[in-house]
Amino acid sequence: MPELPEVEVTRLSFADRIAGALVKSVRLGQALRWPLGAEPGDLVGRRVLAVRRRGKYLLIDLHPQGVLLVHLGMSGSLAFEARPPAPGRHDHFDLLTSLGTLRLHDPRRFGAVVLAQDEHSGMALKLLARLGVEPLEADFDPALFHRALKSKQASIKQVLLAGQVVVGVGNIYACESLFRAGIRPTLRACRVSRPRADRLHAAIVEVLAQAVRQGGSTLRDFSNALGQTGYFQLEAQVYDREQQPCRICGTPIRRIVQQQRSTYFCAVCQRA
């Protein structure tokens, strides 16, 4: 599943290129996770102002009104091309503009494109209201992070994945952040001390920023809007390295399952 770094990398790959574009037409393919929320023709004539990100949602601001929320789901990717090929079986949304076509390719159809009046109303409010703080922005404060963890009884790994304390720390990056912070993923969040919370806070920022710089993680078929793949997964310390030696101490990396998600960790480096 594309996580925060992959979504941010996607945004960076086309945001400047589509800014100022005039929407000329919209093509819908098979139904996605949620309906568009308007007739495709309602978008024609609007202009793209900017592309932002909130968690794992891309927000495409339109003029004179409206915002398109784009979610990549489990297997989705965006492409922005001046002259794209004819849409294929898994191409379910085309935004044809004066500067090129933005296309959502999504084999599993868990993604979505939703039009809202603004991000504080309708479906946008429902989707965005409960998201936690952005980890790569100044609002991600260590003291507030620790305070939020103290109120959670679930394991620290589960709390990170839930996205209500901090948004966008998906499975890969939760495993890697916990490893860097030396915290066992099964530890209850409320038992994370302030010093360990500070280490985890710093690790989350470092891991996500590094992943963005390295183009995200391409485990199967992720690529940005220019067709470029990421390589963060090549430098993972624990993720998907079951029984391989820890790069720090040499102990075989362990894998457990938490809420149907694989968790990877080093039993020696992550004792606490």
How is the chain split into domains, by residue range?
4-128, 142-265
Which of 2, 5, 135, 185 is flagged as catalytic?
A: 2
Q: What is the mean pLDDT of residues 4-19?
A: 94
pLDDT value of residue 2: 81
Active site annotation includes 56: yes
Q: 3-state DSSP call for residue 227?
A: coil
Residue 227 confidence (pLDDT) above 70:
yes
Higher pLDDT, 235 or 181: 181
Alpha helix stretches (DSSP H) within the chain: 4-18, 122-128, 142-150, 156-162, 171-181, 194-213
CATH classification code of 142-265: 1.10.8.50
Active site annotation includes 3: yes
Which of 46, 56, 103, 152 is flagged as catalytic?
A: 56
pLDDT bin (cut points 50, 70, 90) of residue 48 is: very high
Task: Show the tokens assigned to 77.
Answer: 């990717």
% pLDDT > 90, the chain: 83
pLDDT bin (cut points 50, 70, 90) of residue 173 is: very high
Which of 33, 247, 255, 261 is flagged as catalytic?
A: 261
pLDDT bin (cut points 50, 70, 90) of residue 216 is: confident
Residue 136 confidence (pLDDT) above 70:
yes
Residue 243 confidence (pLDDT) above 80:
yes
Residue 66 confidence (pLDDT) above 80:
yes
Which of 3, 6, 8, 176 is flagged as catalytic?
A: 3
Task: Find residue 77's DSSP bridge partners.
Answer: 105
Residue 70: count other Cβ atoms within 10 Å of its Cβ.
Answer: 25
Backbone phi, then psi, for 245, in 5-degree steps? -70, 140
Instruction: Count the alpha carbons within 13 Å of 49 in the hemisphere toward its beta carbon.
Output: 10
pLDDT value of residue 222: 67
Residue 221 confidence (pLDDT) above 70:
no
Nearest C-alpha neighbor of 102 from the set 118, 87, 117:
87
Q: What is the mean pLDDT of residues 241-251?
A: 96
Residue 104 confidence (pLDDT) above 90:
yes
Q: Assign a CATH topology to domain 4-128.
A: N-terminal domain of MutM-like DNA repair proteins (3.20.190)
Q: What is the mean pLDDT of residues 44-63?
A: 96
What is the model's pTM? Answer: 0.91
As a whole number, the mean pLDDT across the chain is: 93
Sign of CA dihedral 148, 149, 154, 158: positive
